């Protein structure tokens, strides 16, 4: 049996923790009073289980009769159900501070997703469609060089995570906007790299489009709410 899913989890947890720690030391713009690490870890575990179960069911494997397969990377992890379960878990755990919690986790979650994609190195599953580019890679025993598409996604998501973290630290964005943009950018990165994956015809394209549209809708809605609140705020009076 192959338990390389644990290696991929390790790749995801490290940048998740580092980003939360880095932001906390510099003042997380979300100003959340809850433990973001506890919420992130719980949401990640729930999302991972949900995504793995969904993948097993999609492959015709009964999770109740094959519980060990939860740790085996055969059908992978279903991206959409995993992301949805993780987001809903985080929102429920921070239900009295939903937007501060989701904003507080926005950069860290994208960094963790970047690490998850980089975890392809532990699963030997980085490669996509054939290419002759200088940085192309070949599987062991093969002479066909391919795009390291999972590493492309990992780099792109790492850049997004860094941009969101710096924006939160310096720009103080409206509540909910970083969370929405984190969701949207994650969907966009997957859509951009999907043509380089060998599973283009069967990939969960609908989930990526949903993430992009929902994320942009959340960001636009929260930005509009903040602007209206500013317009209707009473003017400051001098003492």
Residue of 145, 125, 122 lying closest to 135 (CA atoms): 145
pLDDT at 35: 86
Q: How many CB atoms lie within 10 A of CB 213?
A: 13
Phi, psi of 138 (to 5 degrees): -125, 145
pTM of the complete model = 0.87
pLDDT at 27: 63
- Domain residue extents for the chain: 5-227
pLDDT at 131: 94
Along the chain (239 residues), what's the average pLDDT of each consecutive run of 10 residues? Answer: 65 93 71 82 91 82 73 70 94 92 94 92 87 92 92 97 92 90 96 83 81 97 89 58
């Amino acid at each position: 049996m192959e338990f390389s899913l644990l290696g991929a989890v390790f790749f995801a947890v490290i940048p998740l923790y580092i980003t939360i720690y880095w932001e906390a030391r510099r003042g997380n713009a979300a100003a959340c009073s809850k433990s973001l690490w506890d919420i992130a870890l719980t949401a990640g575990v729930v999302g991972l289980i949900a995504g793995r179960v969904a993948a097993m069911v999609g492959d015709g494997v009964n999770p109740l009769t094959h519980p060990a397969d939860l740790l085996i990377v055969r059908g992978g992890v279903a991206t959409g159900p995993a992301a949805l379960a993780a987001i809903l878990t985080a929102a429920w755990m921070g239900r009295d501070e939903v937007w501060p919690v989701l904003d507080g986790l926005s950069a860290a979650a994208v960094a963790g997703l970047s690490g998850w994609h980089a975890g392809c190195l532990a699963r030997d599953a980085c490669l996509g469609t054939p290419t002759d580019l200088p940085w192309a890679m070949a599987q062991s025993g093969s002479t066909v060089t391919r795009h390291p598409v999972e590493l492309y996604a990992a780099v792109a998501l790492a850049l997004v995570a860094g941009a969101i973290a710096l924006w939160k630290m310096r720009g103080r964005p409206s509540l909910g906007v970083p969370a929405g943009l984190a969701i949207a950018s994650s969907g966009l990165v997957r859509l951009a790299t999907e043509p380089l994956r060998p599973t283009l015809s069967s990939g969960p394209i609908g989930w990526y489009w949903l993430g992009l549209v929902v994320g942009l809708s959340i960001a636009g809605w929260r930005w509009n709410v903040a602007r209206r609140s500013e317009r209707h705020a009473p003017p400051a009076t001098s003492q």
